[in-house]
Amino acid sequence: MKCIINRQEKFSAIRHYCLPELENKEVQPCFGINSDFPVWGNNYLLIVFLGGELGSYGMVQNFSKVKKTIQKEITNQLHNSYLNQIWPEFQQTPPTTENLARVIWQRLKSHLPLFKIQLFESSEIWAEYLGLNMEASVTIKSYFCAAHRLFIPELTQEENYAIYGKCARPSGHGHNYHLEVSAIGKIDPRTGQIVDLTALQQLIDTKVIEPFDHTFLNIDIPYFAKVIPTVENIAVYICQLLQQPISDLGVELEKVKLMETPKNSCEIYCRSSRSI
């Protein structure tokens, strides 16, 4: 039986986004606001996913050995380091989160049966790498507050209650929505990025967060005058709003995940090549 397991490790490091051949005024268009700070640090969370057959000892891999391997090959070297100088891979391509995830994969692949690497630079930005050459994804997490009511106008109140329960109450109700937007593309061999994260965040803010925040979706968002604002329909609409603008940034919209409560969420895979 095939299983996927994962091991989490943490490390702290500082880094600098720069290109030797560019003057300071030329760096900002490549890296956005990240180039405004000479050096800054992150407390990274690294999650290493491993795949394999479930063995006779009830394990895919011995977690004790996995821990020691990750620490020896990765975290013991990176912890409290200056990433630009610690490994030769970062001499020409800066240690962006997506590029760092890729290099970690390369350094672990001969030691462990890797499935994927996730690297969090914060709780709101992370990268994912699956060993597909220079392809990686980055995810940005954002938030908005909104109210909605789930009901079908053609049905009676009793019929709506039978379908939607208390969510059909006439006065509506609100949620603190957590939105995750994942973009996928090729890591640029010079900048180490798949996309300017500042531009991506501004796009999400402009297209979704600012228009949706503190609204009654059924009333304030014209799309939901005729479409029931379930978490599924909201996620689908966000995908529609972002797909082309993100494409214009040179990457693909991979996934939209919307959480309306800690217990309820919906994921929409927007990439044409991805199927459930």
Which residue did the predictor score with more confidence, 9 or 92?
Answer: 9
178 catalytic? Reply is no
- Mean pLDDT of all residues in 214-219: 97
Pick the CATH number of 132-276 from 3.30.70.270, 3.30.479.10, 3.40.140.10, 3.40.50.2300: 3.30.479.10
Which of 167, 180, 232, 266 is labelled catalytic?
Answer: 167
CA-angle at 181, arms to 177 and 185, nearest 5°? 175
Which of 128, 239, 260, 270 is labelled catalytic?
Answer: 260
List residues bridging with 13 in a β-sheet: 42, 81
pLDDT for 53 beyond 90: no
260 catalytic? Reply is yes
132-276 shares the fold of 1-131: yes
Pairing of strands 215-216, 135-148: parallel
**30-61 residues labelled b (16+ CB within 10 A) or e (exposed):** bbbebbeeeeeebebbbbbbbbbeeeeeeebb
Which of 26, 145, 210, 214 is labelled catalytic?
Answer: 214
The pTM of the full predicted model, rounded to 2 decimals, is 0.89
- Mean pLDDT of all residues in 231-238: 97
Pairwise CA distance, residues 182 & 237, whole Å:
15
Q: Where are the domains of the chain?
A: 1-131, 132-276
pLDDT for 18 beyond 90: no
What is the per-residue pLDDT across 56-90, written as a single tens digit (0 to 9) for each?
Answer: 778 888 999 999 999 999 999 999 999 999 999 99
Interacting residues of 108 by C-beta distance below 8 A, sequence separation 6+: 48, 69, 70, 73, 74, 114, 117
- Mean pLDDT of all residues in 124-135: 96
What is the per-residue pLDDT across 235-245, written as a single tens digit (0 to 9) for each?
Answer: 999 999 999 99
Residue type, 76: N
What is the per-residue pLDDT across 173-212, written as a single tens digit (0 to 9) for each?
Answer: 999 999 999 999 999 998 899 999 999 999 999 999 999 9
pLDDT for residue 232? 97
- Give me the chain's average pLDDT, please: 91
CATH superfamily of the 1-131 domain = 6-pyruvoyl tetrahydropterin synthase/QueD (3.30.479.10)
180 catalytic? Reply is no
Quick check: 116 and 128 in contact, CB under 8 A?
yes
